[in-house]
A and B are shown apart, each in its own frame.
Chain A
Amino acid sequence: MTGYSRLLMAAAAACLVGAGAEAKTLVYCSEGSPEGFDPAPYTAGTTFDASSRPIYNRLVEFEKGTTNINPGLAESWEVSEDGLQYTFHLRPGVKFHTTEWFTPTRELNADDVIFSFERQGDTSSPWNQYTAGISYEYFNSMDMGSLIQSIEKVDDLTVRFNLTRPEAPFLANLAMDFASIMSKEYADKLEAEGRMSDLNQQPVGTGPFQLVAYQQDAVIRYHSNPDYWNGQQPIDDLVFAITTDPAVRLQKLQAGECHIMPYPAPADIEAIRGDGNLTLMEQPGLNVAYLAYNTQMPPFDNPQVRRALNMAMNKQAIIDAVFQGTGEVAKNPIPPTMWGYNEEIQDDAYDPEAARQMLEEAGVSGLSMKVWAMPVQRPYMPNARRTAELIQEDFAKIGVNVEIVSYEWGEYLDRSSATDRDGAVILGWTGDNGDPDNFMGVLLSCAGVGEANRAQWCNEEFSDLINQAKTTADQEQRAELYRQAQVIFKQDAPWATIAHSTVFMPMSNKVQGYIMSPLGTHQFDGVDIAE
């Protein structure tokens, strides 16, 4: 620890101790350590919870508890007729954090916005590689590099994005964590002092909380931002107590060592419900778990075979046994909380007899296949192995012999992308920005074959609808296009849609005003603790 940071901690300690017992501190038992405090190079929710959500803002923000887009650092915006120009009017008087490591001399302006995006896309910028080996995976995977032609400063408080093509999800993309707005003034200072890598350790943002100190793998301390443009926080301090084991998190919550925790173990849900001191919030997750057939390999290139197998799968049994009731059966590739969800679609009924007949009609008998089970637990899938075993039993009833295979996680992700993959793969997805394109475009369009499209499914009609929806500005029209696409998806059955999991958030009864995000992020602005 340097002398400088020692001084800093001493000063911060003096602040906290000085405030005494009157300071209101909210303690969040977080599930892991952030990778850094610059959200742009990372993709993990744990990192966003600790960086972009408390510390930064974006031009537009997701309305709390929904995926609707609200004004953020931009008060208003206009989109040109052709959908190629987005002009944002910045909120005047927004102050960056005054911290031990930086005192801003000016308020937010267009330069900050331009800097925040250009550093990610412009490989000639010194900030593109400000520490060795950094890469901007969200910026890249959302294809922002080829989408944004230029960003211009119209005046200090007006900034214009010129796009190469109309892209309806663009606004939603700008509400994502990678699009957090950094201070150019601070970046210039770091560059001049030759300590650019501190951008990732000592963040300066405009958000509701400012970082005080991070003790690696142990504690993150924030203080509420006294100059926050969106009002004072009810709490003085926010503390993340990093606690990786879910059972230990619950013990800490019950012992009063923290006020709120994410990701309880499914087995503990009933006990939490029975604890009079705790409140259990829950909501359907913005996710889907699926079994993707390889639609390029016979006999799975025949939709009739895929539908027959779907009918043989007892999904409710999977929800009961694997999700222990903490989920719901999925019939569409997008979750029911998302706009554009097609309510009218009928799921294939569980009917082994009909499935067996359908398979016979398709001329398939004595089928042996592989089902891939992920080696890890994910928010959309608590136990893939157990799910695979249930599918194995179900398929055996219609005379299909299943061999379960698995690989190390990185290897699994890689091999399952291959177009000549042997077998159907269990996988899932958690939404990034609440836009249906983020599910159907990424996971099922022709462009995703060989990558995120694990069914290797390229249906021209479906892809055309998705592309059309992507370039249509009107949300109602887009929703209709997505509803049509879901009909094609259901008929062609590249996946067996398995489940949408429920997300739980246990907290002390004292916590007030916490709102769960459908995007699975955890944010604490506006949260209070009852005395």
Chain B
Amino acid sequence: MIRFILGKLLYLVPTFIGVTIVAFGFVRVLPGDPVLLMAGERGISPERYEQLLQQLGYDQPIWRQYLDFLGRLLQGDLGNSLVTKAPVLHEFLTLFPATVELAICAIVLATLLGIPAGVLAAVKRGSWFDQVSMGTALVGYSMPIFWWGLLLIILFSGVLGWTPVSGRISLLYFFPEVTGFMLIDSLLSGQDGAFASALAHLILPTIVLATIPLAVIARQTRSAMLEVLGEDYVRTARAKGLPWRRVVGVHALRNAMIPVITTIGLQIGVLMAGAILTETIFSWPGIGKWMVDSIFRRDYPAVQGGLLMIAAIVMAVNLIVDLLYGLINPRIRHV
């Protein structure tokens, strides 16, 4: 098992170097630059432009800028944002808990609804439930997130007034940030109604962010279950008289879970992409919105630092999924 883990870790090294190149290169291949955007309609004289580029260190050859970036990275320094002048790592870590909180809620919702729906659809293949749930999943999968979010806000917050429109908690509540997770912090604050307010603010963004993963997980679970249900060992289990519930719940589901867990792991990347739109609509102060703003402002250090951190997190999650996979499926460990 240790060899298996070490092997996986070794794989990460070249991947991470590749990620640094992509993160560094990505913003630089975009047209435009931060100095031009700062100057705006007023324009800027060539001399002043050169002066500012030099001040920011962007007059150096690109390879040298990259080496500087790597050098600082090895010391754990992602640089300072060109816009706010604050350390990128600090900004990232300040905003990251909001994104994680939302992502965890979304993936939990998607899993709790998606797996049972997929199993039921597979077991009752061809039934009305199968058709309705898979049809809905297809719609969910193709839903334009921005439109969907706005629609929910207009219906539930605007017309019905059941949920708050946006933000993480009612502005009435103001307490020190301890963990950065609003659900936990609101409980710790001890203020009446704070937790309920935080929870209410999570409902719509969670639904919106969970929509696509939910659809994917439900469809993946259904097809994995269908495959497994046709296997010999399932027929054997039934033949030896095990109750159907036990056959599905233990023998089939456990095996069908392998591709499903991989899918859930892969959804982490999808969640990051979905977070960009979801956070923008719901004014959710997370890294998705921050990344988009940084890209528009050509804030090179923020974009490259953010990309790097996100890539590292996705890699870590994938590693954990791989390891879990090994635990669930002993065959993998020994390959």
Contact = CB atoms under 8 A, between A and B. Distances in A.
Nearest to A251: B165
Contacts of A245: 150, 280-281, 283
A133 B40 CA distance: 18
Interface in A1-53: 1, 6-7, 9-10, 12-13, 16-17, 25, 27, 32-33, 35-36, 41, 43
B157 A17 contact: no
A409 B95 contact: no
Contacts of A413: 36-37, 39-41, 43
Interface stretch (A65-73, A74-82, A215-223): A215-223
Interface in A239-256: 239, 241-245, 247-248, 251-252, 254-255
Interface string A390-419: 000000000000000001111101100100
Contact of B43 (A12, A132, A200, A451): A451
A408 B32 contact: yes
Contact of B171 (A132, A137, A219): A219
Contacts of B31: 407-408, 410-411
A417 B91 CA distance: 35
B281 A248 contact: yes
Contact of B36 (A12, A414, A442): A414
Given A6-B177, A215-B285, A451-B45, A134 B85 contact: yes
Interface string A137-168: 10011000000000000000000000000000
Main secondary structure of the interface of A (DSSP, over half): mixed
B293 interface: yes
Contact of A251 (B158, B168, B175, B178): B158
Contacts of A241: 167, 171, 283
B174 interface: yes
Interface size class of B (residues with CB under 8 A): 35 or more
A188 interface: no
Nearest to A35: B83
A410 B280 contact: no
A133 B95 CA distance: 23
B247 to A, nearest CB: 49
Contact of B174 (A197, A221, A243, A427): A221
B85 A131 contact: yes
A418 to B, nearest CB: 10
A213 B32 CA distance: 34
A10 B285 CA distance: 21
B166 interface: yes
Contacts of B82: 133
Nearest to B98: A218
B260 to A, nearest CB: 34
A247 B171 contact: no
Nearest to A141: B42
Interface of B: 30-34, 36-45, 48, 52, 55-56, 80, 82-86, 91, 94-95, 150, 153-154, 157-158, 161, 164-168, 171, 174-178, 191, 280-283, 285-286, 289-290, 293, 298
Interface of A: 1, 6-7, 9-10, 12-13, 16-17, 25, 27, 32-33, 35-36, 41, 43, 131-135, 137, 140-141, 197, 200-201, 213, 215-219, 221, 239, 241-245, 247-248, 251-252, 254-255, 257, 407-411, 413-414, 417, 427-429, 442, 448, 450-452, 454
Please provide the 5 A-B residue pairs with the shortest distance between their CB atoms, ordered closest to farther: A410-B32, A451-B43, A217-B285, A410-B36, A218-B285
